[in-house]
Amino acid sequence: MYNKLKEYRYKNNMTLIDVANKVGISKAFYCQIENGKRRLLYETAIKIANVFNVKPDYLFYNDTLNNMNEKDN
């Protein structure tokens, strides 16, 4: 998940501050999300996904499922 966030941010030539401002959170908070140090509410996930014009499940849910499956094996 976190690599996808960075990847999309870089593809869109955005800084941490750019994304944080569009989402309505602090740069520090967004940085923690992007680095996997902070969980986020679904509402925040939707806002982040909207910044990149993708569905929240694409950014967040698919990788979470993969990580859960890896732990089970």
List the domain range (segments joined by +) for residue 37. Answer: 2-72
How many domains is the chain built from? Answer: 1
Asked whether 44 and 67 are in contact (CB, 8 A), the reply is: no
How much is the pTM? 0.80
* pLDDT the model gives residue 57: 87
Give the E-state strand segments of the chain in sequence order.
Answer: none
Q: What confidence tens digit (pLDDT) does each residue in 1-29 have?
A: 568 899 999 999 999 999 999 999 999 99
Q: What confidence tens digit (pLDDT) does each residue in 30-39 have?
A: 999 999 899 8
Phi, psi for residue 72 in degrees, rounded to 5 = -70, -25
Domain harbouring 51, CATH code: 1.10.260.40
